[in-house]
Amino acid sequence: MTHMDILIIDDEKSIRSATTIAVEAEGHYAETADSARIAEMKLKEGDFNLVFLDLRLGEDNGMDLLRDIAKHQPDLPVVIFTAHASIETAVEATREGAFDYLEKPFTPDQLRAILLKAEKASRTRKKIVKLENEVQELQTQVSTQAPPSTFESQEPAMQESLSTLFRAAATPASILILGESGTGKSVISKAVHEQSHLAQNPFVTVSCPSLSKELLESELFGHVKGSFTGAVKDKWGKVHAADGGTLFLDEIGELPLEIQPKLLRLLQEKEYERLGENKTRQSNVRIIAATNRNLAEMVEEGSFREDLFYRLNVITVELPALRQRPADLLLFANNYLSFFGKQVGRDNLQYSKEALAALRSYPWPGNLRELRNSIERAAILAQGSEVEAADLPSTNSLNALGTPGTNSLPSISPGSRVTIAELEEEHIRRVVETSSSLQEAAEILGIDNATLYRKRKKMNLE
Ligand SMILES: Nc1ncnc2c1ncn2[C@@H]1O[C@H](COP(=O)(O)OP(=O)(O)OP(=O)(O)O)[C@@H](O)[C@H]1O
């Protein structure tokens, strides 16, 4: 049985109390209102699942109230109380958006039947909300044409992160995921949700940097009409939509300082308020937050609250950059090639030897996202049965290493004002980082193992 919050609107005290007793006996919670004014106030304050409304409401017109509810809260079912003589009114009310009607005097069985019907409708509505969220998430995935995700790794650092994440999945603990852009923080957050005890409930994403402070606050917590310019009607936020499920806060490092205490309160007390409203609401969400910023440093600088940082920092994992996962690179590259190859009708595309070397020696500053995009392009560009190095333009030239504007790229690159020794050192460092073995690194560099050993020793790169 689904528990419902029910508002009973009737000017007759005996009907209010009889209905209250009857719905409470069925395990629901009831509030009452004896006039349209009180009803409007309660409707604004509360989050009801069902309303009983007598159209004859003393001096007030119940039909006006019904129209108002149908307009502003179209998802809220309203059951009309009607006297035997006014079936026609009931029919009219149904036309105006009433969910059903109940003829007075009604028996407990008739009321029970209506409650069951409303419960069913409420469950369906919840399912629809969940599906709407899922559609939104899927649309994001489809628009980025994501090939199936892989959560395997041959690299100890990544294996440790995966094991921590999937062990933490089944607990209510907040999770903080750190890592450069494109390392797969969003993708893995969804996977953690799907492996958790909350999998049947919503997974809702809020992208912190994409909105202004006011809109972000409203996106999170919701608002009431008139709370800011553009707030033309009441709105529930994503904290409400995610109730009972997971709220994924992408780029938490961009969360404005003013909103941080509100998030902290949600984490600690499970409480929040909509913008422009004083009523305290409850929401029980599991938070997964991700960022490519150094939150600890931000705490020191004063741009991120220390208390929030510690609250989020219960389980923290770092997703290594792709260049720190040389042993996994080929697994991803092959998966992507078979996915995108199929999309363009070439099932058996392979990499040429040179293409493989190019894939390995490039540091992939944009990580999995960049790799995915490059392979998608290469699958289209490839002329024969093999992807050639030339089909992977971003890996073609070492100049790519120095492209300005990508935060994880080094400032040392061919042509920049550095010595040959510095350039050599950087090149060796990167090739070693992106090779699966020292033997392979030596081959790519065109030197023997002993020379590589000596150079690494000199560079303290062991
Ligand atoms: N486990 C995975 N398996 C396969 N592909 C992945 C995986 N994780 C990420 N990707 C690919 O990388 C892309 C970027 O991943 P995601 O958006 O999760 O990164 P992010 O770390 O959240 O990036 P940003 O910090 O920029 O938001 C995905 O769209 C997907 O194509």
Please report, for the domain that includes residue 412, its CATH number.
Answer: 1.10.8.60
Atom of ligand 1 nearest to the CA of 146: 31
Residue 128 forms part of a structural domain? no
The rounded mean pLDDT for the chain is 87
Residues 332 and 416 in one domain: yes
The Å distance, Cα 186 to ligand 1 centre, comes to 6
The Å distance, Cα 319 to ligand 1 centre, comes to 11
Atom of ligand 1 nearest to the CA of 319: 21
ipTM > 0.95 for the complex: yes
In terms of average pLDDT, the best of 59-73, 133-147, 156-170, 433-447 is: 156-170
Question: What is the per-residue pLDDT for 202?
Answer: 92
pLDDT over 60 at 97, yes or no: yes
Separation of alpha carbons 406 and 365, rounded Å: 8
Tokens of 320: 């290594």
The Å distance, Cα 171 to ligand 1 centre, comes to 24
Contacts of 294 (CB under 8 A, 6+ apart): none
Residues 188 and 307 in one domain: yes
Separation of alpha carbons 54 and 70, rounded Å: 15
Question: What is the per-residue pLDDT for 295?
Answer: 93
Residue 438 forms part of a structural domain? yes
List all residues whose CB is within 6 A of at least one atom of ligand 1. 144, 146, 149-151, 179, 181-187, 250, 290, 292, 368-369, 372
Residues 168 and 310 in one domain: yes
pLDDT over 70 at 92, yes or no: yes
Nearest CA to ligand 1 atom 9: 184
Out of 296, 318, 340, a domain closes at 318
Residue 60 forms part of a structural domain? yes
Residues 450 and 308 in one domain: no
Question: What is the per-residue pLDDT for 210?
Answer: 66
Q: What distances in angstroms separate CA 333 from CA 156, 273, 392, one per listed residue?
A: 19, 46, 12
pLDDT over 90 at 327, yes or no: yes
User: What pTM does this model have?
Assistant: 0.66
Residue 398 binned pLDDT confidence (cut-offs 50, 70, 90): very low
The Å distance, Cα 31 to ligand 1 centre, comes to 47
Residues 307 and 361 in one domain: no
The Å distance, Cα 144 to ligand 1 centre, comes to 10
Residue 52 forms part of a structural domain? yes
Domain count, the chain: 3
Atom of ligand 1 nearest to the CA of 189: 18
Atom of ligand 1 nearest to the CA of 368: 12
Question: What is the per-residue pLDDT for 408?
Answer: 37
Query: If we measure between CA atoms, which residue out of 32, 25, 28, 29 comes closest to residue 9?
Result: 32
Residues 368 and 230 in one domain: no
The Å distance, Cα 333 to ligand 1 centre, comes to 14
Which region among 1-5, 26-30, 205-209, 242-246 has the lowest average model confidence (pLDDT)? 1-5
Atom of ligand 1 nearest to the CA of 141: 29
Tens of pLDDT, residues 131-171 = 888 887 777 666 555 688 889 999 999 999 999 999 999 99
- Domain containing 387 equals 323-458
Residues 393 and 297 in one domain: no
Residue 12 forms part of a structural domain? yes
Residue 131 forms part of a structural domain? no
pLDDT over 50 at 115, yes or no: yes
Look up the CATH number of the domain holding residue 26: 3.40.50.2300
Q: What distances in angstroms separate CA 410 from CA 85, 275, 312, 363, 401, one per listed residue?
A: 83, 43, 30, 10, 7
Residues 68 and 192 in one domain: no
Out of 318, 343, 377, a domain closes at 318
Tens of pLDDT, residues 337-388 = 999 998 888 888 999 999 999 999 999 988 998 899 899 989 988 988 999 9
Residue in 155, 166, 210, 369 to alter for ligand 1 test, most ligand atoms within 8 A of Cβ: 369
Q: Give the CA-trace dihedral at 8, 9, 11, 16, to 10 degrees.
A: 0
Residue 127 forms part of a structural domain? no
pLDDT over 90 at 304, yes or no: yes
Tens of pLDDT, residues 255-301 = 999 999 999 999 999 999 999 988 899 999 999 999 999 999 999 99
Out of 318, 340, 361, a domain closes at 318
Residue 136 forms part of a structural domain? no
Residues 312 and 351 in one domain: no
Residues 309 and 332 in one domain: no
